[in-house]
Structure 1
């Protein structure tokens, strides 16, 4: 059964950690002190369907997007991940002539309105991403589904429900980096914890056994389906209320994101992109 934040769509730094000190960023959370030099900046182009304006002004939508991005940056900081999120733009689009039934049609509709060149321009920049924010009138986000992310080697596209929770944007960014849900949720969704059995062969190099969310302290890390989601990625170096919130072999999505940040840095360098925020 599809549940909230399911993201199995088949679509198409310098970091040092000191193990002898700890910090408490979020109440109840403890993690090693980390020093991040020149985090990799990422930019999100938000495209908001006009239907999302019903009962909410353009300024309120702008504020909502910034709130989501601020929360993402809090999660990344808590998790000692050398990346930042930034709002590149908030643009309103008219999708009234399009039927958004699923993830594929959501992207097709956006591309039809913006033009293929505009989408290509974003995708050609390694650290730029685009998110389509949909209102309540489409059939895609009926029920419990609140967000979905492109499943591709270098995914750039996310679709979100306009009234979703603050953590969903970063949850979907986690999927773009190949972070996964907790073990219990994966068993429910795909029947087992070995994703290679339910994935295409091209996906196998990106699937890591430690790329799992973690349940801890009556909640779970951001990629989990726990009712109480904690503002950090799973890591054996992070604890919450005295309970470790990760496992080196089966619960280290923070490692997945750090590796992703390093690959992103290398891709940017290969095409002459710097890491300084514009």
Structure 2
């Protein structure tokens, strides 16, 4: 096999808009914002996070810089709206944009294959600087994911790395970042799947980060951000929470669907990591 030569990466400053996880989303429609009833949030220190984006050359060529910025701006805006609505003391911020050669020899590359290729073609200090900061993430945008997969993460492979499809919707970025905070989908077999995941896949050091309440929810025929129910097409910019209502229907459950709590706890742990990382 011939060695793939590294490509020169050009950084561009811009405002930028699980567990193994696959994100599959249908088309989104406009929601009736006036029907969304949000709680009064407690005053807490906001944890700032940064997302750097690595755009494959084929995506860059197909869309161009202006369109890429537009799509990422929309994703970051939606992420921050979701966090604010859910009383999560965390904010997504602008990072850097890189153009990279993501030519992969594997026929059916998995998450690790994409990450390894990114590490091969990227100046080593770039990824190293990102991973040394617990509040930094790096997102790879590609155009060769299967049509129904819009995002991928694996918190145990790399808790700061995610992949987005060029077809990703504005909710996909925060959905994948939610997975990196151990937020789950609306799994009807939650009890058995959680037990299996804890037993077979979760390192001992991370078992206390998985909770039965950390899953998505559907309310009033709509989906919270971590829900992947194929029955509901309307998406709400919220994490599941028993304190949030759409109309008269609650959008969560204290015991089985409170991803907003999961994200708040994650934000607090992240804040402690940042203080210890100084």
**TM-score range for the pair, normalised by the shorter chain length:** 0.7 to 0.9
Unaligned 5+ residue runs, structure 1? 1-6, 11-24, 273-278
Q: Deviations over 1:87-119 (max 9, x none)?
A: 211111122365471100110011001133321
- Contact 1:213–1:221, Cα closer than 8 Å, also in 2: yes
- Equivalent-residue separation in structure 2 for 1:180 and 1:96 (angstroms): 31
- Equivalent-residue separation in structure 2 for 1:105 and 1:97 (angstroms): 8
* From 171, 178, 183, the counterpart of 1:179: 183
Alignment map for 1:178-197 (pairs within 5 Å): 178-184=182-188, 192=193, 194=195, 195-197=197-199
- SS of 2:177's partner is helix
Asked if 1:43 is matched to 2:43, the reply is no
Asked if 1:223 is matched to 2:226, the reply is yes
Q: Deviations over 1:37-90 (max 9, x none)?
A: 431110000000011124311121122111111110010011011000012111
Aligned-pair RMSD on alpha carbons?
2.2
Asked if 1:206 is matched to 2:220, the reply is no
TM-score (ref. length: structure 2): 0.81
Provide the residue aligned with 1:32 in structure 2: 39
User: Which moves more between the two structures, 94-103 or 153-162?
Assistant: 94-103
- Contact 2:104–2:114, Cα closer than 8 Å, also in 1: no
- Contact 2:38–2:244, Cα closer than 8 Å, also in 1: yes
- Contact 1:183–1:193, Cα closer than 8 Å, also in 2: no
- Contact 1:132–1:158, Cα closer than 8 Å, also in 2: yes
User: Which moves more between the two structures, 95-104 or 105-114?
Assistant: 95-104
* From 144, 150, 155, the counterpart of 2:154: 150
- SS of 2:76's partner is helix
Q: Which structure's relative contact order is higher, taking Cα pairs within 8 Å and 6+ residues apart?
A: 2
Provide the residue aligned with 1:114 in structure 2: 122
- Contact 1:36–1:80, Cα closer than 8 Å, also in 2: no
- SS of 1:76's partner is helix
Q: By how many angstroms is 1:201 displaced?
A: 4.3
Unaligned 5+ residue runs, structure 2? 1-17, 22-31
Q: Deviations over 1:215-266 (max 9, x none)?
A: 1111221000133221100111001121001111111000000001001111
Provide the residue aligned with 1:133 in structure 2: 141
- Equivalent-residue separation in structure 2 for 1:120 and 1:59 (angstroms): 28
TM-score (ref. length: structure 1): 0.81
Q: Deviations over 1:126-169 (max 9, x none)?
A: 1110000002xx3xx11311101132297100001012111010
- Contact 2:185–2:227, Cα closer than 8 Å, also in 1: yes
- Equivalenced residue count is 245
- Contact 2:213–2:254, Cα closer than 8 Å, also in 1: yes
Seen in structure 2, the aligned counterparts of structure 1 residues 215 and 73 have a Cα distance that, compared at 3 Å, is: same
Asked if 1:261 is matched to 2:267, the reply is yes
- Equivalent-residue separation in structure 2 for 1:193 and 1:205 (angstroms): 12
- Equivalent-residue separation in structure 1 for 2:264 and 2:213 (angstroms): 13
Seen in structure 2, the aligned counterparts of structure 1 residues 50 and 126 have a Cα distance that, compared at 3 Å, is: same
Q: By how many angstroms is 1:183 displaced?
A: 2.6
* From 50, 59, 68, the counterpart of 1:52: 59
